[in-house]
Amino acid sequence: MDYKFKLLKIHCAGCALALEQDLNTIEGVCAEINFVTKILKLTITTENPAETLTEVKTAISDFDHSIEIAEYQDEQDLELKEKRERNINIVRLVVAFAIMIGTYFIPLLWLKIVLFALDYILVAYKVLISAGRNIIHGKFFDENFLMTIASIGAFVISEFVEAISVMLLFEVGTILEDVAVGRSRKAIKNLLEIKQPYANLVVGEEEQKVALSEIVVGNIIRVKPGEKIPLDGEITEGTSYLDMSVLTGETKEKIVQVGDKVLSGSINGASVLLVRVEKTEGESTISRVVEMVEKATESKAKSEKFISKFSKYYTPIVIVLAVIIAFVPPIFSGYSNFVDFAYRALCFLVVSCPCALVISVPLTYFAGIGSFARCGIMVKGANFVEALSKVNSVVFDKTGTLTEGNFEITEIVCFGDHTEEEILETVAYAESYSNHRIAKSILKTYKEKTQKEINSAWITDYTEFAGKGIKANIFMQDVLVGNAKLFAENEISVYTTNKSGTVLYVAIGGNYSGYVVIDDVIKKDSARAVADLKAIGISDVVLCTGDEENVARAIAEKVGIKNSYCSMLPEDKVNVVTKRVQDGKTVAFVGDGINDAPSLASANVGIAMGGLGSDIAVEASDVIIMTDEPSKVAKAVKKAKKTHRIVLQNIIGTIGIKVLILGLIAFGVSGMWLAVFADVGVNLIAVINSLRTMLK
Ligand code: ADP
Ligand code: MG
């Protein structure tokens, strides 16, 4: 059984990690906590899932009683509740602050102490209760515990104002942090709330509003102006324009008419459209996008792993240092300055909480991935953001990647007693099962020209050779359609032509019978794509194509690529990639087709053209460009670099400031105020810094 819950009041990423580990120790439970989305995913494989679920819930409240578990759906109510509680908290802290100031001026010492104590309880009771509960469950050294020790310690050595202010600052910091994290959560959620929850199903004359899950492939749905297209499909009636900015990040509108494919998530701009559904809810583009972004935050980057490892050692080390500071120096001075050193040790404890480190890194990646999504680049995980930032070699596929992949037939040549019509028909039949861009274009032209449909009864023994072509039996004759390589292997000699464009040689009944020249146009931004990559310092940009040399060279020249590899079979493309990887380069492979899938998978970062690319390519890739624009590659690398830079700033900044302040405290230069700053303040700065990734 799978469950999905929302965890409320889980403030610290480190705690989320620890809780996740705890839950996973329960038998038959697989738990995943996403700190940023606050979602707990459970897979329970025991015989009695309900019982195990109760066990899980007990384990969570044992872990920290303040964490609330809520059904995933009633999220909005929960948010309201959280907001209300936050407001109450703010009032409480303001009152406590006023009492503290007032009490400071009271001359009577005993009254002063009593009032300070009461005020302290008002400020700190929540933290104290949490700390107490956690100690009962054997959990020391969490944020609450450290704050409790530090502030009680300050109280004992008569630093009343300090004790209260530490707690005050801590609480204020937590609230601010909650707000900041909540903001970024919200910004990203808005990005994801792009799903239309229902569809207008057309049944005969009537129209019903139904849930997406009830729609099946082949249903006709009506999409009104202003509505989002709920599921992928094809227009059967109507003309309109679509705002696809959610998917592509571009504001330019696209005009669509009968026969055009539409992607879910686009907004219908002008008039009513009837759409025949082609993909169910789970498979439609927008669901895949949402799922991808949600999942993306789960796979962790190296720096994320580093930081959680670091924090594991950090806290114990600082606590040991605190103990040393409290007890060792006073030994030498006969305990006369014990209070002073105890105070320093307490400050150490405040700085020892690792939460500041743990939260900002995943948050940065999360915000980064959100901002990628906003410009039509889907990244499947934080680890790929990291890899993208290091890319120094880019291998481009040609067809469908640098070129549009819409081939036009420029010439049909026939030999012997074959006619042009016959050649075209043979090629169209041969291509009718293929998913290659060449096949799609040829079939389109064939159908337009002849108004005929393919009768598949005439096709037998069909085999496609990736990167070469097709062999089949058509109209009772053996047919071969493909490039010179395919013909050489089948020992049929062809006259090589010097045509500009891709030549498909045709053999019927074992004899070379003619050829078809097809041509493709280079995408508008292909040259810019290459130039942009060079501008950001990536000099190793190569073209890798299954096409022949003259075509490869012509295209490479036009887009500004010096190095091109031609006549590449899928496995040759993989070799080009792996050789570079072995040379220590970080390689991005950009492709679109089924035959690119192996290269996409073997590159450090596989980048697929998502709009038109085959499902398999999209599946095998790590990054998907929804707009099919190759220039987005450089943009993605740039964005990844920025995200990575912010991550580094946060890591170095937080660790640096903490260590610096620990030093100052050790030598008695600084007090508890700075300690709290090092804990909460630095955390806050890091969170705010991480939000910068969302800027353009
Ligand atoms: P690219 O690397 O440019 O995307 P491919 O590796 O898919 O190209 O194909 C390389 C060459 O193999 C094509 O230029 C074409 O000559 C031939 N070829 C591949 N698939 C087919 C097919 N379905 N029909 C005819 N020729 C094909
Ligand atoms: Mg291709």
For residue 434, the ligand 1 atom closest to its alpha carbon is 23
CA angle 506, 490, 548 (to 5 degrees): 60
pLDDT at residue number 114? 92
**Annotated catalytic, 397?**
yes
The CA 238 to ligand 1 mean position distance, Å, reads 36
Angle between helices 160-192 and 143-156 (to 10 degrees): 160
pLDDT at residue number 385? 92
Q: How far is CA 523 from CA 160, 250, 269, in A?
A: 70, 17, 26
The CA 594 to ligand 2 mean position distance, Å, reads 8
The CA 554 to ligand 2 mean position distance, Å, reads 16
Pocket test for ligand 1, best of 404, 441, 474, 483 (most atoms within 8 A of CB): 483
pLDDT at residue number 357? 67
| Interval 473-493: pLDDT, tens | 999 999 999 998 899 999 988
pLDDT at residue number 97? 93
- The type of residue at 313 is Y
What are φ and ψ of residue 508, in 5° steps? Answer: -120, 130
| Interval 405-456: pLDDT, tens | 888 899 999 998 899 999 999 999 999 988 888 998 899 899 988 888 888 8
d(CA 534, CA 145): 53
In sequence order, what are the residues at sequence separation of 6 or more whose Cβ sits closer than 8 angstroms to the Cβ of residue 87?
A: none
Q: What is the DSSP string of 295-340?
A: HHTTSPPHHHHHHHHHHHHHHHHHHHHHHHHHHHHHHHTTTTTHHH
Pocket test for ligand 1, best of 547, 592, 616 (most atoms within 8 A of CB): 547
* Spatial contact of 560 and 432, defined as CB atoms under 8 Å apart: no
- Give the least confident one: 70-84, 123-137, 628-642: 70-84
Among the listed residues 232, 397, 520, 547, the single catalytic one is 397
| Interval 489-541: pLDDT, tens | 999 888 877 777 889 999 999 999 999 999 888 999 999 999 999 999 999 99
**Local confidence band at 212 (pLDDT 50, 70, 90 cut-offs):** confident
